Structure 1
């Protein structure tokens, strides 16, 4: 598959089978991610690959954030909700937490470091698609919460930029919906 085909045909695949994914396949995705551009070549990305019971790290992060946001709940009601939150980490056999770990380079701007980490995630998603794997980039409010950052041992300017769920697709790819580029382009001549 050439790069243009991968770009045009990649879709977020939110339902995957629980079949194990070989470590070498995940390493190829990470290798693709590592070739993302970064200003001053700072390469400010970090990946935490969770498989098996390692996904409990993410599940606990979800549970801690949920517990903090629902102080009115207690007892069985709270435990049921926390169990549901923990299960989110098990929606795929592999979950990769992608983080921006700014380089400390005095020429590097935080916004550019974050952009580089996001570009690395896009490379990873394209490589997963080209390999026949399904993947989805998840984020949302819990990912940005300080308790989730803490669950992954991040500090200072380090930030999570995505949870990438990876597995063998268990759904058809959704139909593409894109606004034509001409509708979002201004030519200055």
Structure 2
């Protein structure tokens, strides 16, 4: 397990990643909400320029933005729980972020493989190599961040286990504070 991430302690890195995720989610919520508010204007411009069916375009924009908004709201909640779990040393609060990011990593790998397969069919070698480098770098960074937060999860879990063992150890009673125990005589 990692001890730090990008020259930061794991707790600091968890807080930074949580805040970056929360801020990014808030910005995306604003953008997607403004698209949903102005969907009629967007459909009018698309249908006049591209001769697209306005009803189909309206339905597509509303569906995609609504699904995107739901995903971004889940990401915001998981990032907020990451911040809270890091600050309060509650390892279970990190689980939503780990699950959310794990699913995103799986979809990212699948998407990269599909795009790579499509590029390999028709594109020359230079764009393929550029895509491999850029997607590989992005995946490596995301895996490193995921592993750091997983290390933070394990670290907090170990700390909580040690604290619970200390609390559960029997306390030695002083002879002045308790009555003698005659049962074991």
Question: Does 1 or 2 have the higher relative contact order (CA < 8 Å, sep 6+)?
Answer: 1
More strand per residue: 1
Higher CA-based Rg:
2
* TM-score of the aligned structures, taking structure 1 as reference length: 0.28
More helix per residue: 2
